[in-house]
Amino acid sequence: MEDWIRGGVPVSEFSLRYTAESAQPLTFIADFGNNGMSLSYPYKGALVHVEHMSKNLAYRAVGRIGEMELGKEIRRRFGLGDNLERIYDDISTDEFLKKSIKEYRGMRITENGLWETTLCFIISQFNNVKRIRGIVRKLTDTYGEQNQISSGGKILKFNSFPEPEVLAQQEVKDLMKCGTGFRAKYIKGAAELCSGSFELEKLRAKSYLDAKEALMELPGVGDKVADCILLMGYKKGEAFPIDTWIKRIVERVYFKGRKQSIKNIHSFAQERWEKSAGYAQQYLFWRGRSIKLN
């Protein structure tokens, strides 16, 4: 019989809805509640639930987690330590971004587990959000550690995120049964490395560029996926993931529609937004998608 651990943090400049809906690893993992104002997700051996009520983010958890750790997890996961005022100042470089900030105010970049982030973004390539979520869920249901916790007279069941050690042992054809498609071999390869010689944790100490170079040694991790992992796993602010949308948006908004190389766009972003480039990317992306630039 276990009780929920409960807590709350005062929040300002925070929108759980925009943060959770912005296709970050959290989004792929979580179950959503009422209208994006609450969600639950597995964190290691615990089940975490959060609910956003105006100026307060209420949270609770059951399972293998302590009160201190839970508080830290919430602050880190939802980017509550980010100074949004300063970041908005950094990225208010033009009307396009100013309007995006106005529209998506409170959207924060989450900080997720390193393996979790790596796996989610390997799956994300040449894929859509709905399917990514489905695949992550199937992998979790099939290969994640099963937890059963009795609380308040009923039994709560949930699976932890699948560990690389477990995924590394599966046959590619079995991984494909979860809908992973051609990415199955990448998943197995990355899982083998990350459960062995390749230490994701050790990259935290490296610079953005050095860590990026290392991550791209993993199968299925190229320039874009590496930047996603660096931004939403390692929380390297200068990471600027360039997908087809961002490429198009940057070309239209800042280069009069002229085609630019990926390399060019990276140096443009670095020069213009520096350590806030990742935030600029998120706000460019969501406004760019919503207004469908001609």
Partner DNA sequence: ACCCAGGCGGGCG
Partner DNA sequence: CGCCCGCATGGG
Burial class (CB in 10 A: 0-12, 13-18, 19+), 248: middle
Q: What are the structure tokens assigned to 85, written together?
A: 């005022």
**DSSP string of 144-166?**
SPEEEEEETTEEEEEEPPPPHHH
- Tell me the three state secondary structure of residue 238: coil
Q: Does 182 bind DNA (CB under 7 A)?
A: yes
Which of 37, 168, 216, 293: binder of DNA (CB under 7 A)? 216
> φ and ψ at 61, to 5 degrees?
-155, 150
Contact 93, 24 (CB under 8 A): no
Of 86-125, which residues contact DNA (CB under 7 A)?
A: 124-125
Rounded to a whole number, what is the largest CA-CA distance in the chain? 63
CB of 116 to DNA, least distance (A): 16
Question: What does DSSP assign to residue 129?
Answer: H
Which of 128, 150, 207, 267: binder of DNA (CB under 7 A)? 128
Residue 278 Cα to chain centre, angstroms: 12
Question: Closer CB to DNA, residue 5 or residue 119?
Answer: 119
Q: Does 221 bind DNA (CB under 7 A)?
A: yes
CB of 54 to DNA, least distance (A): 26
CB of 183 to DNA, least distance (A): 7
Size of the site for DNA (CB under 7 A): 38
Which of 48, 241, 272, 273: binder of DNA (CB under 7 A)? 241
Which of 84, 119, 228, 277: binder of DNA (CB under 7 A)? 228
* Residue spans of alpha helices (H) in 144-276: 164-168, 172-176, 184-194, 208-215, 223-232, 244-254, 262-273
Question: Closer CB to DNA, residue 79 or residue 179?
Answer: 179
Which region among 22-30, 105-113, 143-151, 204-212 touches DNA (by CB under 7 A)? 22-30
- Tell me the three state secondary structure of residue 61: strand
CB of 58 to DNA, least distance (A): 26
Q: What are the structure tokens assigned to 196, written together?
A: 């062995």
Question: Closer CB to DNA, residue 24 or residue 276?
Answer: 24
Q: Does 276 bind DNA (CB under 7 A)?
A: no
Q: Which residues bind DNA (CB under 7 A)?
A: 22-24, 124-131, 134, 176, 179, 181-182, 186, 216, 218-226, 228, 241, 243-246, 261, 263, 281-282, 285
